[in-house]
Amino acid sequence: VVSPKIAPSMLSSDFANLAAEAKRMVDLGADWLHMDIMDGHFVPNLTIGAPVIESLRKHTNAYLDCHLMVTNPMDYVEQMGKAGASGFTFHVEVAKENWQELVSKIKSTGMRPGVALRPGTPVEEVYPLVEGETPVEMVLVMTVEPGFGGQKFMPSMMDKVRALRQKYPTLDIEVDGGLGPSTIEVAAAAGANCIVAGSSVFGAPEPGEVISLLRTSVEK
C-alpha cells in the first residue's frame, strides 16, 4: 500500500490561533496540514492566501498541503512557493489549456504538484495530467462540493478513487470532504491514502484518536 497521510483541514481550526492549532495537530500525529485557499470566485467562500501560509511557515516545519480553490492558479504559484507551501493542488476545471506550464512552474518553485476534481468532473479528465511528461504527483478527489467544511461525504465519488487506484498503484490519491470515522472505511477500501479531515478531527473530544483511527483504516 501507498503510505497513509492524514491531513487535518485547518479550515476547521481556530484561524486566530493558527500556529498553536497547527502544532496541536502535528503533536497529535498529523502527517500533513491541509490548507484551503479560496478566492471567493471559484468557490463562494474566501479563506486564506500566501501571507497566512508565510506567517504559519515561521512556526512549523510541517508539510503544508495547499488546496487551491481559485480560478487562476497560475497567479498563485510564485507567491505560494515563496511563502513556504509544500504541496500545490490546483483544480483541473480551471487548468485545461495550460496545465503543463502550470505543473512545471509548481515544480520549479519547489512544491509538489497535485490536481483536484470537483464532484461533477469526470475522472478521465485528470488522466493526461498523471501520465504527462511533467506529471502531477497527487490526485485530490473532492467528496463534497468545494467551498465549505462540515458537508456530507458523497460515496458515489469512490468510483473515481477505484478507477485511479487500479490505473496507478503508487499514486497519492487524496479524498477531501466529509471524511471521518463513519466514512473512512469506504474511502480506504476504494484506495485513497491521503485523508483530509476537518470537522471530524477538530470537532472530536479527542482529535488524536480520530487521527489514529483514520491512519489505521488506511493501513489495513
The answer to whether residue 36 is catalytic is: yes
d(CA 171, CA 208): 26
- Residue labelled with grid coordinates 498529523: 30
Report whether 34 belongs to an annotated binding site.
yes
Terminal alpha carbon distance of the chain: 9
Strands 87-91 and 63-69: parallel
Choice from 53, 83, 92, 196 touching ligand DX5 (CB under 6 A):
196
Q: Minimum distance between the CB of residue 174 and ligand DX5, rounded to whole angstroms? A: 10
Choice from 76, 95, 176, 201 touching Zn ion (CB under 5 A):
176
d(CA 114, CA 176): 13
Give residue number: closest CB to ligand DX5.
198
Report whether 147 belongs to an annotated binding site.
yes
d(CA 79, CA 82): 5
CB atoms within 10 A of CB 76: 21
Q: Minimum distance between the CB of residue 118 and ligand DX5, rounded to whole angstroms? A: 10
- Binding-site string for ligand DX5 from residue 5 to residue 24, where x marks contact by CB under 6 A and - marks none: ----x-xx------------
Select from 191, 194, 196, 174 the least CA-distant residue to 126: 174
Report whether 41 belongs to an annotated binding site.
no
Copy the grid coordinates of residue 34: 491541509
The answer to whether residue 65 is catalytic is: no
Q: Which entry of 36, 39, 65, 172 is annotated as an active-site residue?
A: 36
Report whether 9 belongs to an annotated binding site.
yes
The phi, psi pair for 32, rounded to 5°, reads -130, 160
Q: Which residues are annotated as a binding site for a divalent metal cation?
A: 34, 36, 67, 176
Catalytic residues: 36, 176
Q: Which residues are annotated as a binding site?
A: 9, 34, 36, 67, 147-150, 176, 178, 198-199
Binding site for ligand DX5 (CB under 6 A): 9, 11-12, 34, 36, 67, 144, 146-151, 176-179, 196-200
